[in-house]
Amino acid sequence: MNWEDHVAAWSSPPVDDVGYLSSADLMAMGDTQLNLTIMQMARTRYDGWRNHAGLWREMLRLDDTTGKDVLDFGCGVGMEARELQEAGNRVSLADISAKNLELAYRVLRLGDHDPDSIDLYLVGDEAPYLYADPSSFDVIHCSGVLHHIPWPRDIMIRFHEILRPGGEIRLMLYSDYGWQIATGDQLLPHWSVDTEQLPGFEKFVRFMDSVGTYADFYSRDKLEIRFGDLFDVTDFAYLTEDLRFCAAVLTRKDGS
């Protein structure tokens, strides 16, 4: 899949327990219908199985982050960007799809956010990927995105550059248990495995998402080994009762 096809595929971002809704179709809704749709998406996620024991909201710090400059990287429809906006943060949006950015921008404006304070970043397919100034953000919110990037270290280096000292990345990721569930493997894969070379790779990709051509699994060990020179893994937990997702908070190492 070339970059244009990749962008087109993810211009229908996933909506929990619904499927993949076209950003263009959502943009065609009136303000009231769109607002109600986003509110229903939020109820489905936060009152549903994904937020088991409140861990999704807790690990992504949705209820105790305020007064921060936050970048929602891979913002999709903008649902969690609006959660962060409503908590009193200054939220910027980044996505590979211009259609998603347009939609998420509108979703924030429907939440009475000052449109002049919302920066939009279209992510490219070559380094540096994101043209933001160094030390621009306190927090990078990256939910359901890093595991789809075949060059994650390049992205994490860029995150390190645009975060302020002591800044955090909040990640939601597919887990090693998710791999086990998707493929039927009895043993959890080791962090060092090249996921794309494993026999179950295609099965894993299609089990976790109906679009896209790449997906990886993560564990605390894998995060620490891959990115430990740049970030400390300061919190980690498996999400949902079946542990198929995980979440982590990574704190920027200064001077690295």
Domain boundaries, the chain: 3-174+214-252
Query: What number of helices (H) and strands (E) belong to the chain?
Result: 10, 9
Q: Tokens 């429907």 — which residue?
A: 110
Could you give the count of Cα atoms lying within 13 Å of 138 in the half-sphere of its Cβ? 11
Instruction: Give pLDDT tens digits along the chain (256 positions).
Output: 688 888 888 999 888 888 899 999 999 999 999 999 999 999 999 999 999 999 999 999 999 999 999 999 999 999 999 999 999 999 999 999 999 999 999 999 997 666 667 899 999 999 889 999 999 999 999 999 999 999 999 999 999 999 999 999 999 999 999 999 999 998 888 888 899 999 999 999 999 998 888 999 999 999 999 999 999 999 999 999 999 999 999 999 997 4
Entry pTM: 0.95
Q: Which residues of 99-120 are buried (b: 16+ CB within 10 A; e: fewer)?
A: bbbbbbbbbbeebebeeeebbe
Q: Residue 145: name the closest of 175, 178, 171 by CA.
A: 171
Structure confidence at residue 116 (pLDDT): 63
And the tokens for 130? 């994101």
Structure confidence at residue 119 (pLDDT): 94
Could you give the count of Cα atoms lying within 13 Å of 22 in the half-sphere of its Cβ? 6
Structure confidence at residue 115 (pLDDT): 61
Structure confidence at residue 186 (pLDDT): 84
Main-chain dihedrals φ then ψ at residue 202, nearest 5 degrees: -60, -40
What residue spans of 111-219 are helical by DSSP H? Answer: 152-162, 176-183, 201-208
The domain covering 3-174+214-252 belongs, at the CATH homologous superfamily level, to: Vaccinia Virus protein VP39 (3.40.50.150)
Question: Are 92 and 162 within 8 A, CB to CB?
Answer: no
